[in-house]
Amino acid sequence: MQTKAEQRQRLLGIASDLPLPLHKLQLVVTPAAAPLLPALAVVALLLLLATARHPASSFLDAYRSGVAIVSPSPPTAAGTPRGAAARVPRGCDIFRPGEWVPDDDAPYYTNRTCPLIQEHQNCMKYGRPDTGFMRWRWRPAGCELPRFDAAAFLDAVRDTSMAFVGDSIARNHMQSLMCLLSKVAYPKDISKTTNPEFRTMHYESHNFTVAIFWSPFLVRGYQPDPRRHMWAIHLDEPDAAWAPAGIAGFDRVVLSAANWFTRPAVFYEAGRVVGCHYCLLPGVPDLTHRHSLRMAFRAALRGGDCRRTRPSAANEARVAGLDLDFHTAQVEEFARAKAAAEAASGPRLVLMDTTAAMVLRPDGHPSRYGHWAHENVTLYNDCVHWCLPGPIDAWNEMLLQMLLPDSP
């Protein structure tokens, strides 16, 4: 019988054994240990910046291995009339705790209509027998969250660009968005590299660019010795994979990270060791992963040019333990960045806090349906990512609401 701590260490060991690319990241959790990660505490931020653009290559191949494109010709979007998107009433906080209610119209898409579902989130393909988990929609307390409206979303982002920065959940979110938008338009891959972790997609019909940047710690992090499980995290250095050059020119940036901070790591500041998380090195203080996550968000948000327009009022009653610690650190660092940005009259900074909704959706993970039952995969039960279609689609309902002009 293992203790939770032993299980966690085992998880960490296996998780950090994984070779890149990490879109295969799954945690091996015994059924008993699954509640360790019921849902992610996620903070996403929209920063407004300037602009830039790039050339071309092919991205869908990287993610669609085994996924047939059933309707190869994209729906025509050029002539889409500008419809008014349904709005949440003023005063409705869509991130407030609420409940998931049955939705007969769900899902928005299937693995047949969306060719962009990554293998490990294609739960139906791998024989998940129940479909009920797709048929719910999020209802914040006291109001309705309007259904996702692909045409309205594209109208709201016309002639702009949006970068998703973070870990595999950031990518999960972006792929959900592309599936939701596939009702109206398919993007063209205009990436500069062949690296599947860095893709840039362009919706010609609306001149909307969406990109993904792999940066699981947001700050610089690497394994000095890949044979060991230890990471080196430079808490004061925003990861050059995205900042500042990568996202320069993007109108909006969505930052999303948390899970990788649970890995054993040595922390650096100004290039010197300042502490660690579970490194067991003599003389190096264990500052915990709470410290690294907080400092990483501080570094990622630093600069004084960010500002949010609404507070997070999420009632965190049902979020507990590590999730709560991470969430608190993210929200506090956001508030700090917001105050600094407001003082400097910087661009708009908005908090997108999906935690209250997602903590209620342990049913939406691939679990053992992220691969064939007989497959020998290192990581068997995925309780981190979200099936597509699935509850992460609600993030884009929320994102749409945040993008509409004069969002509350």
Ligand X SMILES: *[C@@H]1O[C@H](CO)[C@@H](O)[C@H](O)[C@H]1NC(C)=O
Tokens of 244: 């500042």
The helix (run of H) or strand (run of E) holding residue 336 is: helix 321-343
Instruction: Please report how close the Cβ of residue 68 comes to ligand X at its closest, in angstroms.
Output: 4
Tokens of 185: 């338009």
Q: Which range, of 13-21, 91-99, 118-126, 296-304, touches ligand X by CB under 6 A? A: 118-126
Report the C-alpha gap between 113 and 108 in whole angstroms.
Answer: 9
Nearer to ligand X, 4 or 71 (CB): 71
Block residue for tokens 């690497």:
222
Q: Does 161 bind ligand X (CB under 6 A)?
A: yes
Picking from 323, 163, 351, 353, the residue whose alpha carbon sits closest to that of residue 259 is 323
Instruction: Please report how close the Cβ of residue 117 comes to ligand X at its closest, in angstroms.
Output: 7
Spell out the residues 6+ positions from residue 271 whose beta carbon is closer than 8 angstroms to its own: 234
Picking from 207, 89, 210, 94, the residue whose alpha carbon sits closest to that of residue 155 is 207
Nearer to ligand X, 179 or 340 (CB): 179
Q: Does 68 bind ligand X (CB under 6 A)?
A: yes
339-378: contacts with ligand X (CB under 6 A): 376
Instruction: Please report how close the Cβ of residue 287 comes to ligand X at its closest, in angstroms.
Output: 34
Provide the mask over 267-306, with x wherever binding to ligand X is found by CB under 6 A and - wherever it is not: ----------------------------------------
Block residue for tokens 């009022």:
313
Instruction: Please report how close the Cβ of residue 209 comes to ligand X at its closest, in angstroms.
Output: 5
The helix (run of H) or strand (run of E) holding residue 71 is: none
Nearer to ligand X, 171 or 298 (CB): 171
Q: Does 207 bind ligand X (CB under 6 A)?
A: yes
Amino acid identity of residue 49, one-letter, is L
With CB under 6 A, what is the number of residues at the site for ligand X? 13
Catalytic residue IDs: 168, 382, 385
CA 369 and chain centroid, separation: 20
Q: Which range, of 94-102, 140-148, 158-166, 186-194, touches ligand X by CB under 6 A? A: 158-166
Instruction: Please report how close the Cβ of residue 376 comes to ligand X at its closest, in angstroms.
Output: 4
Residue 368, CA distances (Å) to 76, 121, 216, 221, 395 in order: 37, 10, 23, 29, 23
* Sole binder of ligand X in the list 76, 159, 192, 248 (CB under 6 A): 159
Report the C-alpha gap between 307 and 340 in whole angstroms.
Answer: 8
Provide the binding-site residues for ligand X, judged by CB under 6 A: 51, 67-68, 111, 122, 124-125, 159-161, 207, 209, 376
